[in-house]
Structure formats: C-alpha cells, structure tokens
Amino acid sequence: MRKIILIALLFASAAVYAQKFEGLAKTPPMGWNSWNRFTCNVNEKLIREAAEAMVSSGMKDAGYIYINIDDCWHGTRDSLGFIHPDSSRFPSGMKALGDYIHSLGLKFGIYTDEGWMTCGGKPGSRGHEYQDALTYAKWGVYYLKDDYCYTENLNPQGAYMTMRDAIYATKRPIVLSICMWGNGCETWAKDVGHLWRTTGDIHPAFDLPRTKGDESPLGVLQILDYQKGLRKYAGPDHWNDPDMLEVGNGMPVNEDRAHFSLWCMLAAPLIAGNDLFNMSKETGEILKNTEVIAVDQDTLGIQGFIYSSNGSLEVWAKPLVDGDWAVCFFNRGLKEENVNFSWKQNTVLDSLTNKVLNPGKDKYSIRDLWLHKNTGTTEKDFNAVIPSHDVVMLRLKAQN
C-alpha cells in the first residue's frame, strides 16, 4: 500500500514540475553502451568488467563517464507492477551494480522502452513510467535510454513527456536519451530530453545503402546524410544523436577515424560500443584522442556543417570557443583525393550563428589533430592526399 501511495504522490507532483532536469548535458554525453557489441548478451559480470576496463584503458580519463546497459537486462514485474532485473543475469541486483560503477568514478545508465515491450521483447514502460522512474532512481541511475518499439498508435511526444515528468518527480537528475529513430522528434524533443536519435540503427559498415526501407541498418555515410538540416535543433543540453559509435567493431582504421572525426564535428554524443576489454591499440588511439574529443565537447555547442562539397571531397567546418575553428577534410569516395585548398580565398560563414572564419583577413595557426602537431598557418595553401574513407582534421586558432 505504501508503494501505491508513493506513486500517487509522484503523479500529483509531476503535474506541478512538468519539465526536464536542466544542465545535465551541457556538452554531448560521453560513455559506453552494451548494445553494439553484445546486443542481448548482457550480465552483471560483463558490465562490471566493462566499467573496470573503462578506467584501466584510459577511457575515463579521456572523458567517458557513463556505463549504460542496453536491452534485455529485464526480468519480470512484481504483483504491484515494479520491474526487477533478470536474477540469473544480475544476481546482485541493479542497486549493487550501480554502486560498484559509481565507486569507480563512473555513472550508471540503463535502458527502457515507451511501448508494451522493449525491442528485445522484454517488459516496456508503457503504463509504468512513474514506477520505473522511481525504480531507476532507487538504483542510482544517471542516464536512461528510452526506445520506441511496440508503441502501436502511441503519441510519441506525449509518451516521452510522461517519462520526462516521471523522472523529474523522483527528484533525481537523470539524462533522458530519446530513441525513436528520428521521425521528426527533433522539432519537439528539446524540452523533453537531453538527446534524441536522428536515424535508424547504425551498423558497423561505412557505406551500407538501404535495401529494406527505414528498418534497414545504416552505414556511417547514410547516417551522415540524414543529418542535413538538423543542426539548428542542437545545442547545450539538447543534442542530435546520430547513434552510438561503431569504432572498434570491424571497420578498417581509416573508416573508424573518419567515423569518429565526423561525429565530433557533429557535436554528437560519444557513446562507444566496442569491446573495452579487448580494445586494439588503434581503436584506443581513436577513441581517446583528446584533441578530437575537445572539438566534440566544445562549450559553444555548435554542430558542424558541410562548407563545401566537390565530388567525393567534403570540407566540414565547426565554430569553437575563443574564435577557433575545426575544419575536417573528408574523402567519402573509393579513391584517394588530392586536396589543394586556399585558405585566403575561402571565407567560411556559418549562417546559423553568424560566426566567420576569414583567413583572407585574419591569420590562423593550424594544428593537425590526428598527427598531433602544428603544421603552419593559413598564410599558405593546404595540400594533402587523403585516402578513401579517411579524413584530415585541423584546428585553426586566430593569431593576435
């Protein structure tokens, strides 16, 4: 009876609050999620070891803080409707697991679904939002990924607002990650969640044209193309989410590097999805490149954009703090590209923010973020040969 009364009080208080917690994601969230590599094969041992590896590998020091369990952790609901974890997979319970993750200086995240069932066929949160939010708060959850399978004719905005209000009613600040695969949610999601998916599911492939409509997994190139027109919706505490990272999950190093660079140019959440315990040196060097991460985590919170496109060569630009700019030369084609770019003849205007990169007027020093070295100034043209599916990523700093 006490639990039922508490739920009723939560409903009443939600009508007063009716908002999301502000300030939880001033820069794009960084962490790790179990799905891309382990799908439904999750258990307590795996998550503990992932948290330990996050620390020992140096990922935590690079800025990754969330350890998120995705689908299939669920057991059943009790007679009052409260969800419990699968006791055979999580024998110590989620509170103990969360406490262990927190003892390592990390933050515990979990997964649910707005429908009757999760995408993996486990109990969803529909009709149980306030109970589930209360349960997650008791477990010490900091991050909630909220999927959208088995929702029938449910109104998505209303559904996610209900979960938002349920979280707020617990008085525990929890990042809400909306996962309804785009479908126009960016037009209303800013006041509901802290990040929202802009596409269908990513796949560990660079170029994977759709063959089955929206249900097909998408490659890096396809997801990139879906980001056009969305940057106006992104900013501190409200981010476009082009899905989790596939770095380290089977693509060549050059494609992993390009994938990571472009997600950083997009100011995307950086949620790794690789095997943290068996991470190669090359994967670690990509995921832990703090100079590239700094572009993603820039406090201006401006999403990058394509400045120019010529055949297979795209030039991306992103305004940064203190008048700096990130510029990424991206070869999306199958052959290497010779680049000759005159800084002085290219003035980059961001029409969304009115930020201007004008090397014809101002002199900028250049830092190569993958080579980790200074490479001169914008007084000279930029020349490079960029292999297929690779990038050169630069940071420009105005000289006084």
Residues noted as catalytic = 147, 201
Contact indicator for 209, 217 with CB cutoff of 8 Å: no
**CA triplet 203, 208, 212: central angle to 5 degrees?**
90
Of 235, 264, 388, 377, nearest to 328 (Cα)? Answer: 264
HSE on the CB side for 336, CA within 13 Å?
6
Q: How far apart are CA 318 and CA 368, in angstroms?
A: 15
Q: Which amino acid is at 226?
A: Y
Q: Beta-carbon neighbour count of residue 4 at 10 Å?
A: 11
Taking only Cα atoms into account, the Rg of the chain, rounded to an integer number of angstroms, comes to 22
CA-to-CA dists, residue 23 to 12, 41, 241, 258, 353, angstroms: 24, 33, 17, 30, 21
Q: How far apart are CA 308 and CA 143, in angstroms?
A: 37
Q: How far apart are CA 264 and CA 298, in angstroms?
A: 10
| 307 phi/psi in degrees, rounded to 5 | -80, -45
Beta bridge partners of 385: 338
Angle subtended by helix axes 129-139 and 2-17, to nearest 10: 100
Structure tokens given for 91: 């024998």
Burial of 313 (0-12, 13-18, 19+ CB in 10 A): middle
Beta bridge partners of 384: 339
The three-state secondary structure class of 24 is coil
Burial of 213 (0-12, 13-18, 19+ CB in 10 A): exposed
Q: How far apart are CA 129 and CA 298, in angstroms?
A: 34
